[in-house]
Structure formats: structure tokens, C-alpha cells
Structure 1
Amino acid sequence: METNSTDQFFKNTVLGHPSGLFVLFFTEMWERFSYYGMRAILVIFLTGVITGDNPGWGWDKPAALSLLGTYAMFVYLTPIVGGWLADNKIGYRLAVVIGALLMTLGHAAMAVETPTFLYIGITLLILGNGFFKPNMTSIISKMYEGRNEKKDGAYNIFYMGVNAGAFLGIMLCGWIGENISWSYGFGLAGIFMFLGMLQFYYAQPLFGNIGAKPKNENRDLIDELVDTSDKDKSKKENLNPFLSIDYLLVGVFIISALIFIINDPLSKIGNINVLNITIAGMTDSLFFALLAAIIFIIILAVRIPRYESVVRDRMIAFTIFCIFTIFFWAAFEQAAGSLPLYTRDFTNRVLEGNASLIFKIIDAIVTVVPIGIITYVLISLFRKTFSKISLSNIILAISFLIIWALVIYKLYINFSAEAKEVEITWFAILNSLFIIIFAPLFTKWWDSKYNPPASVKYGLGLIIMAIGFGLLAFAARNVPLGAETAKLSMIWLVFAYLFHTLGELCLSPMGLSYLSKLVPPRMVAFMFGVYYLAIAIGNKMAHYVGGDIEKITEESGLSHFFLIFTVVPILLGLVSFALHPLIKKLMHGVR
């Protein structure tokens, strides 16, 4: 087979796409199952009471959210290294298998429920994610080379797998963790990660040479950063090699960032400070966080002006989008930290009588229908590929038999109880559910003549998300200062997740899209790192601020806490609208 030929993949299709796409669909689904399933119960478990049949660890909220924030930050940084290793050394397919295996071991370690194994587990999850995350989409890109008209549909199908995995993982790991055992919840995430790895490994004959170990002719990293060839004079003139000052600034940035990233959880969990100093009235963690932020801005300010004018302007435009991205995720990612705590402590989740019955019916429908649709896709894949990858299909079938058994058991338990206390994690599945419902509508909007410009999309994303927090602030307006519990209506949470999702659909898909449009190919790797760094900073900031929910509630009230995530995004959204003429000029015709 010729490496650049994709015709063979379209000879045996499922729903009009190569069968290999659906192998990737299910592999990514199990990985997202494990990631979101674990994340859904981590903070609830860490901060849960230490008594009862299913005790938590009784951690302080700042400590739990600091650990979550550091984990989430590294989740978005390690793929930069993992992607490079796959591109240049080991290939996409081996990287996916290694990543899946490391994450399986990570979930197994967390299921032991001791501090040592918790940290080992989180470390393995971070490393595994670095190998896994960037390389699934790389395989799709190679599979669809020369078929751009099919690529959008392929990624839509793939991202349905992402949301299906998040939906199932949060629902089942959350339900089992809260109702049966936290260990079983963590362990279930690992079981499906392991099955997903086996299913992918035994399906490799479908991919031909795609994702295999790269050959020696691939250029190394230095060649990619600095091309000293004289063959293309114009290209050489536009290059921007790293100077001594750049390396110095990058070194200071990395050291400052690592001190903050490591010291923040250590100081809050174990009362251990790396330097144990106070600088300008700030703790060492806060000082080095601010120093890293300032140095990073200086790096961009030093490097970007060196490019020729059009490239420089477009990179400035993309950098502005990255700044908005940081603050969007700093608010949105409260869904993994402070919102579960709000759900547990301040929401009335007990339903009785007709309300309980209606919820059980709705829950059954939103559970069974998506799984039924995915099972139909699974059967279609079987029909096309069973003779070629029978073992992979058998493993996939076993996975779904387990899923159906767990779902039936869950529904049986729910309908057997007279009253229903809605699980804390149940509300988190609303994000995936709303994405599945509304994503096609947004796609049609973006494809129509009413498609708004980039700055308007970012502004809308920030403001619409802020409305969700505004609703929570309104709901909590009468909660007394320092209150530890309340019984607020759960409808506020449902609407909050709705507006958060609508905001996400406006803004989240735009980042990589504008990266590909605004940044020249030779600089994509650098700006891809900048974009992922923006998301990583946003995640860490989310839980750094979210960890103060208790302190802010005591001093200013719970409503004030949510107002922070209402006012700041709205102001930034208005700034994005106001910057439209400037950003349009900087983009030089890119839409």
C-alpha cells in the first residue's frame, strides 16, 4: 500500500465513512468515559465526610480543588510532548496504546484509595493522557488526506464519541461512586479504559500504515523550528529563530510556572512550601504564578513583532483569542470543582411522589436512547469488519454488555425506591446531553450567511456562559453569610448547565479552527502549544479561585462567589465585541 493513498479506507464503509473511524470513535469514547467518570467523583470523594458506609476523605475544599487544578493543567500540557514523540519517534498507534495502558494503571491505582496510590494514579493519568490525547485526531487526519469534503463529517462523528463517553462515564462512575463505593467508581473508569485499549490494539489491521512508527526521513524538532536551507529564500527570510533572550525568558517562565504548579497543591494538602517565603505581601505560590504570567506576556511581546507584518498581525489576533480562552475556561471549569460542591451542599435533590416518577422516566429516556443509538452503530461496525477484526469486535461487544447490565441495574434500583435523591454527578451529564442536542443547530448557524465574525463568537460565548452563573447568583441571593447548607431548587442548576453549554458551543470549537486559519504551517506547533497553554492556565485558574468558595461564602455570600463568574466574563465579552474592528483588521481577510 502507498502511505498517501486513502482509497482503501473508503472501500468498506459504515454510515458512509471508513470503518476505522468508528474504531477510533469507540476508543475515544472509552477514554472520555474514564476521564470524565473519574473527574466527576474526585472532588466529591476527597471532600466527603469521613463517616458512613461510603466515606470520603474529609479534605478541605481548597486542597481538593488545588489537586484537581494541577491535574487538569498538566492534562493540557503533556499532549505537546506526546504529540511530538508520536510524530517523530514512536508513531500514533503505539502512542495511543501506551497512553491507554498508563491511564488504565492510573485508574487502578486510584481505586486503592490511599494517598500514595492517589498521587501515583494521577501521575499515570497525566502521562497517559499526553500520549493518547493528541494522536487520535492525527490518525483521522491521515485517514482523510485528500478528502476534505468528508473531513468535517468525520470529526462531527468523532466528537459525538467524545460526548457519548463523557455522558456514560459521568452517569455510571458517578452513580456507582456515590451509591456503592468510590473505589468501584474509580475502578470502573479503568476497566473501560483497558477494554478500549484492547479494542483499538486488535483493530490495527484496518489502518494500514497510518500511525505506524515514522521513518528516518522525518525532520527532527530543530529542523522544524529553524530551517537553514537556502532553497527557499522567502521562507528563510520569514523565519524567527529563538535567540538567547528567548531561551532565557522561556527558562524563567518554566521554572516559575513549575514552582507554582507544584507548590500550590503541596502547600494546601500537606502544608509544605517549596520556598516558604513571602514576597511583596504575597505567598510564594501567588508570586511565582504572577511572575510566570508576566514573563509569558513578555515572550509573546518580544517574539511576535519580529515576524513580517501580516503574520505578526494574525498572530496578535490569535493571541487575543487565547486570552479570552483563558478566562472562559477559568469560569466554565467550575463544573468540575465548585459546582459539584454547590450541588451537594446547597441544592435540594430529594424528589417525592409525581416529581420522583417524572424524573425517573426522564432519566431512563436520556440514558437508554443514546446507548441504543450507539449500539446501532456498533452493530453496523460488526457487519462490516467482524471477519477482519473479530477479536476487537468481541471485546467491544463485551464492553457494551457490561454497559447495558449496569444501566439496567441502575434503572431497576431507581424505580424500586419510592423517593429519589438525585446524584450530585447527574447534573454534570447535562453538558454532554445539551451538546448532542444543540451542536447540529450551531453547525447550521456557522454554515449560514448569518455566521458571525470571530470576535462576536468569542463575545457571545463569554456572555452566554456568564448568564448561567448569573442564574446561580440569583438563586443564592438569600443564602445567609457563612451558611454551609441550603435547599435551593435544582432547576437553577439545569438552566446554568444549559447556558454554559451554549456558551461553550459558541467559543470552544473556534480555537483550533482559527489556529489553522491564522497561523502559517511552519508555526502551528508553537502556537498550538500557546493555545493548549491558555486552556491549561484557565483550568488551573478555575480551581485556584474555586477553592475559595467557602472563604468567599463566609465573607461575602454564595451569591457573590457566582457573581465573580458572571461579571468578569460579561465585561470580557463586551471587550471582545468592541475589539471587532481591530481584530478584523489584524486577521487580514481571514474569516
Structure 2
Amino acid sequence: MTSHDQAPAAPQFPQTMGHPRPLWMLFMTEFWERFAFYGMRWALTLYIVAQFWNGDEAGQASASRTYGAYLALVYATAVFGGYVADKIIGYQRSILLGAVVMAAGLFAIMLPYHSVFVFGLSMVIVGNGLFKPNISSMVGQLYATGDSRRDRGFTLFYMGINAGALIAPILTSILADKVFGSDSHHNYHVVFAASGIGMLISLVWFWIGRRMLGDIGRPLSAEMADPKRLLYVIIGVAVAVPLVYLLMDGAGAVVIQWLLMALFLGVAVMLVVEAVRNGRVQIHRVIAMLIIFAFNVLFWMFFEQAGSSFNFLAQNIVDRNLGGWQFPVGWFQSVNPVAIVALAPLIAAAWAWLDGRGAEPSIPRKFGLGLIGNALGFAVLMFALSSLVDASGMIPLWTLVLCYVLQTAGELCLSPIGLSMVTKLAPMRLVGLAMGGWFLSTAIGNNLAGLFAGHVSGEGGLTVASALSGYTMGFWILAGGGVLLFLLAPLINRLMHGIK
């Protein structure tokens, strides 16, 4: 008997729009957290070049590597956050503590000093590790084992949190340009302040709304509920932030990559050891999950160019002139969430329609579709950079927008399905750690994305030629990965033993 067979039934909740009512509370908590995350994300690399490189384009590669390392560590710390929730203080207290630390970090990066900036980013990284994996894990706990609505619930959750990502770059760009700055100068400090306020709203929303969760996310025992445990975790956070600072400021992206790989190996071993205790079926399911994690690395290595090389592409090579009005660089960051909000209900409905006819694609095939969608986005940029460059060395705005839309379609076939997959395939006692492993695979991909973006920009900044070369490589690797995953799908499905 596997751990999935032993899992208790989910509690009965009042239903809203066909899903447990607490889903919508978690939806809004993550909405505001994503507002904070995306509100500052679009500005990070531009701010680094402007503030610490005096606007010199030679700083683009360094800014991209810093951005990639930041994103990687944001997701890597989810491994520890998942373990803290599983074993030490529970999910709800982990989320609340993480929100406090993140908000403090976002306000800290407002200060125009490099050491304070990196320390603030380190606080955001550690706080996010406590927050991000655990709120996703609680979504899975709202549904009973075998409930076919789980994938659709995660897709709706994914749509909702991206509504915050949609609004954030638009609002923070307007605040920076029109209210506190000017058309030609971004007041990035205002962007970071607005993000900090968004994180505070997320904190208050969850604090008030957590009552409707009942026992979900609460400590599982009197020992876990002991206030001393929370104090120990707070001390751990106080130690972790300076350690992350040292990684960000001293180690660099290459060293971080090796550390992430070692950490991922450790998580994989822990999951396999736990699976062995639960029998052959659970071992197979963990192996299937780890294979999917490897392809997740590949997806995010090329997808996560939005805040780095795509940002510099938008700033310097995309013609943003629309009848005398300049389309703001930050607004490109809203194309992805706009597409998610528009496409997520359609894709969720498509999965439901196919499920009713016994034809819904399996998890590995959905992931294969995700890789191919990502590849098609790069194909558009390949075409633009080779055939649509005008006399001033610019490509049309619509090409970057279409790239984002195609990548988003791929993301919707992969990311929300991955969250749901972890809650289905992971050993019941280590769902939080497994969710951390999922985010760790994303972290490895994000760090590689920063290294890739630095390679594309080169030493002198992004050019048409360097972008075309780099994005062509991205297309072929992604397309090959998608085809390979389709070929491996029957084997992976067998390893899942009926999980769909």
C-alpha cells in the first residue's frame, strides 16, 4: 500500500464556482505576493545597470547574471521552506513569517547602496523560500486524493496569481514615470516601495483569511505547535540571510550553479529514501517526478529571459514607437500574465473536455507541449532578427509580444500541471519537500537562464547578431527536448502507476 492510498480524505469545504472556498482566499494571497514579485522584477536589471554601472551597456551581462542568481536562489530556498513547513512549524506559520521577511527586504532595496541592495534581495530570497512552496502545497490539500478537479484548481490558482503579475508592471511603471519621475527617467525606488506595500497586503490578507482553512496548514502535533520552534526558525532566518548575501555578492552564478546541483541531488536522495519505505509503486512515482524535474530545468533556462535579455532587447532593439508614444519597457512584463489570464480558462476547459472523452494528454505529454510552445516563441524572434530588422537596427514590437504569448501557452501546459503533479506523486510525508524540489529545479533553470542571458549580451551589450545566435540555439534545444519527452512519455506514464 502506498502513501497515496493511506492519505486522509480532504475536509469538506463550502464550494464557490465549483471549487473549495479557501482556494479563492489562497488565490488572493498569492495575487498580492505576485504583485510584489513582478512589480520589482521588470526593474531589477535596468536598475543595476543604471545605478551601479552608470548606464554603461557593458553592465548588461553582469546584471543578467545577478538577476539569474537572484531568481535561482528565490526558488532554491523553497526546498528549506518546504522542509520547515513539513517538519518544524507547519505551513501557515511558515507563510506568515516568509511574508514579513519579504516585505522588509523589498523596502530595503529602495536604498541606493549596493551592499544594502544585495542584503535586501537576500531577505526577499529567504522569505520567499518560506512562502512560495507552502501556499502551493496547501492548494493541493484542499482536494481529496483522486479528485479530478485538482489540475483545474491549480490552473485557476495559476491564473489568479498572474492577475497580480499583470497589474504590477503597469502600475509600477506609471508610478515611476508619470507620478514620481518623468518619461525619460524611471524612479526605481518607487517601484520597490510599491512592491513592498503589495507584500504587506498579502500578509494581512492571509492573516485574516487563514481561519477558513480549518486544520489545513496548522502544525500536525503539539510538538510542532511549540512557540520555541517558531523562535528557532526566526533565528535560522537571521543566519540564512547573511549566507545568501555572501552567495549573491561573492560566489557568483557559476558557483551557485554547482551548489544548486548538489542541493538537488540531496533532495532527490531524500525523496527516494522516503519512497523506499512505501514500496515499489512509490519508488516508481518518485523516479517519474524526478525525470519531469529535469525537463523543467530545460524549460526555465530559456523561458526566464523576460527580466534579462528580453528586457535589454525591448529597451534597445525593439521599435516601441506607437504613433509618437513610446511603449514602456516594463509593460512587456505584463504580456505574459495577460496571456495567462486569457488562455488559462481556455486550457483548463480544454483539459476538462478531453478528460470527459478519455483523451486528456498525460503529464509528460503536457510538459512536451510546454517545451514546444517555448521553442515557438524563440522561432518568432529568430525570424524577426534575421528578416525584419529595419534600417535603424530595430525589430517590430509585435514580434516580442507574440514570443511572450507563445511561451505563455507553453507555460500553461507545464507549470500549473507541475505543481499538481508534485502533490500527486510525492510521498505524503514529504509533499512540502517535494514541492521545494520542484522549485529547486526551476531555480537551476533560472540560474542557467542568467548565464545564458549573459552569454547573449556578451561583453559589450546585446546586439542583433548576438541575440539571433543565442535565440537560435534556444529554439533547437527546446524543440529537441519537447520531441524527446514525447518519446519518453509511455515509459514515464508506466512509472506513474495510474496517476494522471
TM-score (norm 2): 0.79
Tell me which residue corresponds to 1:349.
320
2:250 equivalent to 1:266: yes
Note the alpha carbon deviations across 1:501-529, whole angstroms, 9 max, x for none.
11111122232333344444355455444
Q: 2: CA distance between counterparts of 1:303 and 1:215?
A: 22
Q: C-alpha displacement at 1:589, in angstroms? A: 4.0
Q: C-alpha displacement at 1:121, in angstroms? A: 1.1
Task: Give yes or no for contact 2:367–2:413 (8 Å, CA) kept in 1.
Answer: yes
2:206 equivalent to 1:200: yes
Aligned residue among 188, 197, 202 for 2:194: 188
Cα gap change, 1:30 to 1:139, in 2 (>3 Å)? same
Q: 1: CA distance between counterparts of 2:336 and 2:452?
A: 22
Q: C-alpha displacement at 1:491, in angstroms? A: 0.9
2:449 equivalent to 1:542: yes
Cα gap change, 1:498 to 1:156, in 2 (>3 Å)? closer
Q: 1: CA distance between counterparts of 2:34 and 2:200?
A: 12
Note the alpha carbon deviations across 1:425-468, whole angstroms, 9 max, x for none.
11221111111111122222222133223332222211121111
Tell me which residue corresponds to 1:378.
none
Structure 1 counterpart of 2:222, which letter?
N
Q: C-alpha displacement at 1:263, in angstroms? A: 6.1
Aligned residue among 453, 466, 472 for 1:557: 466
Cα gap change, 1:496 to 1:156, in 2 (>3 Å)? closer
Aligned residue among 308, 312, 335 for 1:337: 308
Cα gap change, 1:334 to 1:145, in 2 (>3 Å)? same
Cα gap change, 1:310 to 1:94, in 2 (>3 Å)? closer
> Counterparts of 1:352-391 in structure 2 under 5 Å?
352=323
Q: C-alpha displacement at 1:577, in angstroms? A: 2.0
2:413 equivalent to 1:506: yes
Q: 1: CA distance between counterparts of 2:91 and 2:268?
A: 31
Tell me which residue corresponds to 1:130.
129
Aligned residue among 337, 362, 378 for 1:432: 337
Q: C-alpha displacement at 1:177, in angstroms? A: 3.4
Aligned residue among 28, 31, 34 for 2:30: 28
Task: Give yes or no for contact 2:91–2:217 (8 Å, CA) kept in 1.
Answer: yes
Aligned residue among 347, 350, 365 for 1:442: 347
Note the alpha carbon deviations across 1:114-159, whole angstroms, 9 max, x for none.
2122112101111221222233345545566699577666545433
Cα gap change, 1:499 to 1:75, in 2 (>3 Å)? same
Note the alpha carbon deviations across 1:475-515, whole angstroms, 9 max, x for none.
112699xx9x8321001011101110111111222323333
SS in 1 for 2:394: coil
Tell me which residue corresponds to 1:488.
395
TM-score (norm 1): 0.68
Cα gap change, 1:138 to 1:479, in 2 (>3 Å)? closer
Cα gap change, 1:452 to 1:572, in 2 (>3 Å)? same
Cα gap change, 1:259 to 1:564, in 2 (>3 Å)? farther
Structure 2 counterpart of 1:348, which letter?
D
Q: C-alpha displacement at 1:590, in angstroms? A: 3.6
Note the alpha carbon deviations across 1:525-580, whole angstroms, 9 max, x for none.
55444322211100111111111222296695321111111110011111112223
SS in 2 for 1:334: coil
Tell me which residue corresponds to 2:238.
none
Task: Give yes or no for contact 1:48–1:59 (8 Å, CA) kept in 2.
Answer: no
Tell me which residue corresponds to 1:236.
none
SS in 1 for 2:386: coil
2:222 equivalent to 1:216: yes
Q: 1: CA distance between counterparts of 2:172 and 2:188?
A: 9
Structure 1 counterpart of 2:346, which letter?
L
SS in 2 for 1:48: helix
2:359 equivalent to 1:457: no
Cα gap change, 1:582 to 1:219, in 2 (>3 Å)? farther
Higher alpha-carbon Rg = 1
How many residue pairs were aligned? 461
Task: Name the structure, 1 or 2, with higher relative contact order (CA <8 Å, separation 6+).
Answer: 2
Aligned residue among 458, 462, 479 for 1:570: 479
Q: C-alpha displacement at 1:300, in angstroms? A: 5.8
* Percent identity over paired residues: 31
SS in 2 for 1:577: helix
Tell me which residue corresponds to 2:229.
none
Structure 1 counterpart of 2:303, which letter?
F
Q: 2: CA distance between counterparts of 1:141 and 1:264?
A: 33
Q: 2: CA distance between counterparts of 1:92 and 1:299?
A: 19
Structure 2 counterpart of 1:315, which letter?
V
Q: 2: CA distance between counterparts of 1:444 and 1:350?
A: 37
Tell me which residue corresponds to 2:385.
476
Aligned residue among 11, 36, 39 for 1:37: 39
Q: C-alpha displacement at 1:113, in angstroms? A: 2.2
Q: 2: CA distance between counterparts of 1:309 and 1:320?
A: 17
Task: Give yes or no for contact 1:41–1:177 (8 Å, CA) kept in 2.
Answer: no
Task: Give yes or no for contact 1:345–1:486 (8 Å, CA) kept in 2.
Answer: no
Q: 2: CA distance between counterparts of 1:563 and 1:502?
A: 20
| Structure 1: stretches of 5+ with no match in the other structure | 221-257, 269-284, 353-418
Task: Identify the range of structure 1 (456-465 vs 525-534) with the bigger mean alpha-carbon deviation.
Answer: 525-534
SS in 2 for 1:563: helix
Q: C-alpha displacement at 1:215, in angstroms? A: 3.1
Cα gap change, 1:527 to 1:19, in 2 (>3 Å)? closer
Note the alpha carbon deviations across 1:265-289, whole angstroms, 9 max, x for none.
6377xxxxxxxxxxxxxxxx75884
SS in 2 for 1:451: coil
Tell me which residue corresponds to 2:105.
106
Task: Identify the range of structure 1 (527-536 vs 328-337) with the bigger mean alpha-carbon deviation.
Answer: 527-536
> Counterparts of 1:287-306 in structure 2 under 5 Å?
289=257, 293=261
Q: 1: CA distance between counterparts of 2:82 and 2:270?
A: 26
Task: Identify the range of structure 1 (569-578 vs 171-180) with the bigger mean alpha-carbon deviation.
Answer: 171-180
Task: Give yes or no for contact 2:370–2:409 (8 Å, CA) kept in 1.
Answer: yes
> Counterparts of 1:16-165 in structure 2 under 5 Å?
20-48=22-50, 60-141=59-140, 148=147, 155-165=154-164
Q: C-alpha displacement at 1:312, in angstroms? A: 3.9
| Structure 2: stretches of 5+ with no match in the other structure | 1-7, 182-186, 227-241
Note the alpha carbon deviations across 1:277-322, whole angstroms, 9 max, x for none.
xxxxxxxx75884697489669969995995654444333322211
Cα gap change, 1:152 to 1:454, in 2 (>3 Å)? closer
Cα gap change, 1:95 to 1:520, in 2 (>3 Å)? closer
Task: Give yes or no for contact 1:470–1:566 (8 Å, CA) kept in 2.
Answer: yes
Task: Give yes or no for contact 1:347–1:487 (8 Å, CA) kept in 2.
Answer: yes
Task: Give yes or no for contact 2:370–2:411 (8 Å, CA) kept in 1.
Answer: yes
Cα gap change, 1:144 to 1:351, in 2 (>3 Å)? same
